[in-house]
Amino acid sequence: MNIGIDARMISPSFGIGRYIEQLLLHMFALEKSKEHSFVLFMKKEMAQIYMPLFQELHANIRVVYTEIPWYSFKEQKEMPALIRAEGVDCMHFPHWNVPYLYNDPFVVTVHDLIMYHFPRPEATTLGPLLFFFKNRVHRFILSHAVKKARHVLVPSMFTKEDVHTTLRVPKEKMTVSYEAPIDIKEGEGKPLSVLETYNIFRPHVLYVGAAYPHKNVKGLLEAWHVFEQTYGNDYQLVLVGQKNPFYTRLLESKEMRACTQVIYTDFVPDDQLKVLYETASLFVTPSLYEGFGLPPLEAMKYGVPVVSSDRTCLPEILGEAALYADPENKEQLAEQMYRALSDDHIRFVLKERAKGELSRYSWKQMAEQTLAIYEQNG
């Protein structure tokens, strides 16, 4: 079988990009994948980074360079012909941006339905009119994609139920394919020097992720202000995420100005991020909506206790290995952070439970599931 994969979004620095990266690395390592050929549609810059790694694992991979932007009219117009020219038997779109006119067999991954549940103008840098139009077009493309797909991959039972309820996709047409924490290689930087780089001079509570409205980082700052007022300034809150207009707004907000012990790092390379995880006293994820949730699992992998929002997929993914709080109740979130920092018994129990929860997640297993879906739907 000749399998095509839209890898234009591959990246080591954000959610969908990480998903594509880990899927391909683990799939090409599977012995069963050697029975098939693969065509990857990639931006040239990323192909130059990743193709040597992929070709060490698998001999029959072809790359098609394309600079076609995702979410663009050009994507809708030109991608179908580009794919058909490669004689693909089954195409995998690892995000919902499937060209409307692509009619050959394909599977699609739907990571979440944020656009349906958080369609707020403040969740974009566009004006209200452009936002409304963009949101409607994206909903139309997504809805069409899941109806036309041979099969739909989702990262959690929560997302499966959400797609079924919101878009009326039959449950038997979907497969839950859990992701897993990333294995980060050791870097050259020593822990102390990394902490000094980011002005972290106290025990720290860590958040890793974007600052989109549904991530509720503003709510985390409100809870952190309560924490500082109630429990003191012995800890620093460290926010890790690539700077963009959403983080810029957050850094200029009254919630940020009200706190005294908050560090914002901007993007952090993997080897330094590993140090921030390993030295953290606590990890917190305050999100209002998630389709999966990798960062808290990564924190658990490094033995860091987790305080989490009790919304959407997070209780499913983190199980009994986290303390939960209503993310819109700043007092409750502050209290749970304090409990997880101050109670040694709770910290021990969370760390022990995390070992069991982490055993449920494997990139190899996810790759095996995905390859089987290709074989069944090509």
Checking if the pLDDT of 223 tops 80, the result is yes
Q: Is there a contact between 292 and 114 (Cβ–Cβ < 8 Å)?
A: no
CA-nearest of 304, 293, 281, 216 to 253 is 216
How would residue 322 be classed by pLDDT, with cut points 50, 70 and 90? very high
pLDDT above 70 coverage of the chain, percent: 96
Stretch 19-28: mean pLDDT: 97
Burial of 337 (0-12, 13-18, 19+ CB in 10 A): buried
Give the tens place of pLDDT for each residue, 299-314. Answer: 999 999 999 999 999 9
Stretch 123-135: mean pLDDT: 68
Q: Is there a contact between 236 and 282 (Cβ–Cβ < 8 Å)?
A: no
Give the N- to C-terminal CA distance of the chain in Å, as an integer: 8
The confidence score (pLDDT) of residue 13 equals 72
Q: Is there a contact between 346 and 3 (Cβ–Cβ < 8 Å)?
A: no
Q: Is there a contact between 292 and 298 (Cβ–Cβ < 8 Å)?
A: no
Pairing of strands 90-93, 204-208: unpaired
Stretch 152-165: mean pLDDT: 98
The confidence score (pLDDT) of residue 306 equals 98
Q: Is there a contact between 108 and 142 (Cβ–Cβ < 8 Å)?
A: no
- Helix axes of 15-28 and 363-377: crossing angle, nearest 10 degrees: 80
Predicted TM-score (pTM) of the model is 0.93
Q: In the numeric block, which tokens belong to residue 189?
A: 């930087």
Checking if the pLDDT of 214 tops 70, the result is yes
DSSP state of 252: T
CA–CA separation, 151 and 375 (whole Å): 11
How would residue 184 be classed by pLDDT, with cut points 50, 70 and 90? confident
CA–CA separation, 56 and 210 (whole Å): 33
How would residue 12 be classed by pLDDT, with cut points 50, 70 and 90? confident
Stretch 113-124: mean pLDDT: 75
Give the tens place of pLDDT for each residue, 29-86. Answer: 999 999 999 999 999 999 999 999 999 999 999 999 999 999 999 999 999 999 999 9
Largest CA distance in the chain: 63
How would residue 15 be classed by pLDDT, with cut points 50, 70 and 90? confident
Residues in the chain: 378
Checking if the pLDDT of 189 tops 70, the result is no
- In degrees, rounded to 5, the angle at the alpha carbon of residue 365 between the alpha carbons of residues 359 and 371 is 170
Domains of the chain and CATH, by start:
2-180+362-377 (3.40.50.2000), 191-358 (3.40.50.2000)
CA-nearest of 200, 192, 189, 194 to 235 is 200
